[in-house]
Amino acid sequence: MSLVNTHLHRGVLTLTLADAANRNALSLQLVSDLLGAIDAAEADPQVRVMVLTNEGSVFCAGADLRQQSAAGVSAASNPAAPLQRASMPELFSRFRNSPKPWVGRLAGHCVAGGMGLAAAMDISIAADDIKFGFTEVRIGVSPAMISVICLPKMRAADARAAFLRGNRFDAAEAARLGLINTAVPRGQLDAEVAQVVDDLLRGGPEAIAATKQVLNQVPQMNYDDASAWTAELSARLFKSDEGREGMAAYLEKRDAVWVP
């Protein structure tokens, strides 16, 4: 049985982490099921926006400590054996590099590796009664892998305090730190997510994919290279069928053909 449930409605694919008994920990199976769901979503032209959410009171508790502990014992007894572990870097990379937008609907607590999962979304919205935390140091490890996705979103002083203290903090603080976009009362969570999804559906699919490229690549380029690349990209988009339709729809005061 898959640990990720999926539901497609009007171009929006909702993926629900469904291993509440294990606090939606990033086990080998959950990560594998999530990667499989991402493959299917990206290959399906009907899918325009993906929403990641959870069953139970925990969005994601990070690494599956039972599996990690068992793997450590196995490695100690047989150092030559390959260490099996959930591929979190691959998972975060898939969200970041996906041509389609990802929205996090965080309806449960989010700690350790779960922080990376929340930060890997293009836009994350949390219920204001949930807790966050980089709790790795308190079990003798480090938030090393998730630092790659979290540090670019955080002020250096804030990151140093949060990573080293390992304390838990509320959703409003997670938003202040830049790890999520906003925290709202639980009763408003679905309405806020629906508004974000509606905005995303109004963007052209090719334009959304190109904009994700811009967000990922421009910060890593020097000024001259970024200017040349974005000028070529912009010219190509203005000449595209989607660009021409979008401009026509604007001038004719109607919705573009891609708006549901």
pLDDT digits (tens, 9 = 90+) for 116-149: 999 999 999 999 999 999 999 999 999 999 999 9
State the pLDDT at residue 80: 53
Torsion sign (Cα): 159, 161, 167, 168: negative
Active-site position among 42, 55, 90, 136: 136
Contact present, 41 and 50 (Cβ < 8 Å): yes
Active site residue 136: yes
Left if phi > 0, otherwise alpha if psi is -120 to 50, otherwise beta: which for 77?
alpha
Look up residue 142 and give its two tokens. Answer: 């480090």
The pLDDT of residue 84 is above 50: no
Delimit the domains of the chain by residue range. 4-200, 203-251
Choose among 151, 150, 141, 163: nearest CA to 65.
141
Q: Strands, E, within 37-173: which ranges?
A: 49-54, 58-60, 102-106, 109-111, 123-127, 131-133, 168-170
Q: What angle do CA 19, 21, 23 make, to 5 degrees?
A: 70
Instruction: Reply yes or no on whether the pLDDT at 83 is more than 60.
Output: no
pTM of the model: 0.92
| CATH number for domain 4-200, candidates 3.40.50.620, 3.40.50.2000, 3.40.630.30, 3.90.226.10 | 3.90.226.10
